[in-house]
Amino acid sequence: MAKIIIGQTVYLKPTACNNMGYEKPIQEFEVKKIGKKYFEVWKGQNKLTVLKFDVETLTQLKYSYFPDWNLYFSKQEILDEKETMKLTDEIRNVVDRGIAIQLSLEQLRKIKDIIDNG
């Protein structure tokens, strides 16, 4: 697990149920408080944009007024996850839609290259 520090920038991506069928932008937040059970991230200095995440699981503590977000420590993590899902879908279309693919991003890239270039 990554070490969380005050002042650190984290990146939030809406969960699938929060997307409502369209792509929402990645949000940058700053870690403002760290407690024993949860930490707070803020969007700027605005207290209305405070979100709380579990220190151990990094999952959002959900309240009815806040959307669901997934937390990442870099934008690259989000881009890699997105590419992994895209490549997995493309490979499933060629191989078998029902197959469960548990491969690394690098393995998926190699398979995609083989499919595209024979």
Domain boundaries, the chain: 9-73, 78-117
pLDDT at 7 exceeding the cut of 90: yes
pLDDT at 9 exceeding the cut of 90: yes
This model's pTM is above 0.75: no
Residue 29's Cβ-side half-sphere holds a number of Cα atoms within 13 Å equal to 30
Residue 42's Cβ-side half-sphere holds a number of Cα atoms within 13 Å equal to 10
Closest by alpha carbon to 42, among 54, 31, 58?
Answer: 31
Report, as an integer, the average pLDDT of 35-54. 88
CA 76 to chain centre: 10
H helix or E strand, kind and range, residue 54: strand 46-54
- The SS3 call for residue 77 is helix
Report, as an integer, the average pLDDT of 79-105. 80
- 55 phi, psi to nearest 5 deg: -65, -40
Predicted local confidence at residue 97, as pLDDT: 60
